[in-house]
Amino acid sequence: MDHYNYKMKTEYQFLRLEKANVQGARGLLYYLTFVGRNPETNTTQVFEARVLRGIPKNIGDDPTEVYFCREKAPPATTDV
C-alpha cells in the first residue's frame, strides 16, 4: 500500500488481505489481492500486487522488490 501511495500520491489505508499466492523464485514471490480504504471519501478499492521477498546479498540489505501494485481491473463483461 505504501508503494502505491508514494507513486500515485494517495493516502489509501490497508484494510484486509483478500487472497495470497506464493512461489519460490530467488526468494519468495507473492501475488497479493487486498482492499484499501480512501480516508477522504471513505470508499474502498481492491488492489493487486506482485512482490518479491528476495535473498539479501549483504547484511542489512532490504531484499524486497515491488514489481507492481495497482488497482484491480473490474471483471470483464460479455455482451451476447
pLDDT of residue 63: 87
pTM: 0.81
| DSSP per-residue letters across 2-20 | HHHHHHHT---EEEEEEEE
Instruction: Supply the range of the domain harboring residue 59.
Output: 2-71
Whether residue 79 lies inside any domain: the answer is no
How far are the Cα atoms of 6, 20, 36, 74, 78 from residue 14, in angstroms, in the given order?
14, 15, 5, 19, 32
Residues 39-55, mean pLDDT to the nearest whole number: 94
Q: How confident is the model at residue 80, as a pLDDT?
A: 65
Would you say residue 77 lies in a domain? no
Confirm whether 80 is domain-assigned. Answer: no
CA atoms within 13 A on the CB side of 13: 8
Torsion angle of alpha carbons 6, 67, 54, 60, nearest 10°? -20
Provide the CATH number for the domain around residue 25: 3.10.450.10
* Domain contains 15: yes
Query: How many structural domains is the chain composed of?
Result: 1
- Give the Cα separation of 40 and 70 in Å (integer): 19
